[in-house]
Amino acid sequence: MHGGFALVTGDVGAGKSAALRMLAQKLAPLREVIVGEVTRPQSRVTNFYREIGDLFGVPVSSSNRWGAYKTVRAKWQEHIQQTLFRPVLLVDEAQEMSPMLLAELRLLGSTKLDTCTIVTVVLCGDRRLEEKLRTPDLLPVASRIRTRLVLDAEPPDVLGTMLRHSRSPERTPNACSLRQLCRRRLHDWTPSQCARGLARLLALRRHLN
């Protein structure tokens, strides 16, 4: 992995968080890859360093931002030297991150006069994140996005096919009630509401299985 930023965006309920969970599950068996999941994207920079220190097992002082910056970078660089893999940072609901925090994250992972990146950051959020990254202050972050996954809401006929091909009720005790709920929502919702919500319900069902 070469590090840098990856972006997962899309409509509400299109399956962004499910895609991030699938990525985390794929990375989990890789012993040489350490993965941190940010749970408070709305944090200020000082609290962000506190969470990063907790995720990667390094002591940081929220009152010493420079010290926290050096400590986290040293931890990541040591890991790369030992394993040749960059740490991975997963950020769900990344649209809640402040421009200051996104800029700090870019600087935190950049070394050797911006020719080397020591962390892989996966930002996951709704369309507001795309709009935020188009602002002048965040263009340096947007220009460093190596991979993009855009999840659009599927039309109702596609979602209906997904539902019909989902697992049968006999294979899980949760399937029947979720199938009934999905069908009811297909009937009651407008097409746009259905497209936004059913993919999330199907992802929830797979998670419960």
- The arithmetic mean of pLDDT across residues 150-174, rounded, is 62
Asked if pLDDT for residue 80 goes beyond 80, the answer is yes
Main-chain dihedrals φ then ψ at residue 93, nearest 5 degrees = 55, 40
- The arithmetic mean of pLDDT across residues 42-68, rounded, is 92
Least trusted range by pLDDT, from 39-48, 70-79, 118-127, 154-163: 154-163
Assigned CATH topology for domain 4-151: Rossmann fold (3.40.50)
Asked if pLDDT for residue 178 goes beyond 60, the answer is no
pLDDT of residue 156: 63
Of residues 189 and 2, which shows the higher confidence score?
2
pLDDT of residue 198: 52
pTM of the model as a whole = 0.77
Of the pLDDT bands very low, low, confident and very high (cuts 50, 70, 90), residue 78 is very high
Torsion-angle region of 205 (φ positive above 0: left; ψ -120 to 50: alpha; else: beta): alpha
Q: In what order do the strands lie in the sheet with 145-151?
A: 35-38, 88-91, 120-126, 4-10, 145-151
Residues 6+ apart with CB under 8 A from 27: 33, 35, 88
- Count of CB atoms within 10 A of residue 74's CB? 12
Structure tokens at 77: 């660089």
SS3 call for 167: coil
SS3 call for 34: coil
Of the pLDDT bands very low, low, confident and very high (cuts 50, 70, 90), residue 171 is very low
pLDDT of residue 186: 46
- The arithmetic mean of pLDDT across residues 1-16, rounded, is 87
Asked if pLDDT for residue 207 goes beyond 70, the answer is no
- The arithmetic mean of pLDDT across residues 86-113, rounded, is 96
Query: Pairing relation of β-strands 116-117 and 110-111?
Result: antiparallel
Asked if pLDDT for residue 144 goes beyond 90, the answer is yes
Q: What letter represents residue 191's amino acid? A: P
Structure tokens at 150: 């855009």
Beta bridge pairs of residue 118:
none
Structure tokens at 66: 């420079």
Token pair 């746009």: residue: 192
Asked if pLDDT for residue 154 goes beyond 70, the answer is no
Of residues 161 and 172, which shows the higher confidence score?
161
pLDDT of residue 130: 95
CA–CA gap between residue 164 and residue 158 (Å, rounded): 10
Of the pLDDT bands very low, low, confident and very high (cuts 50, 70, 90), residue 185 is very low
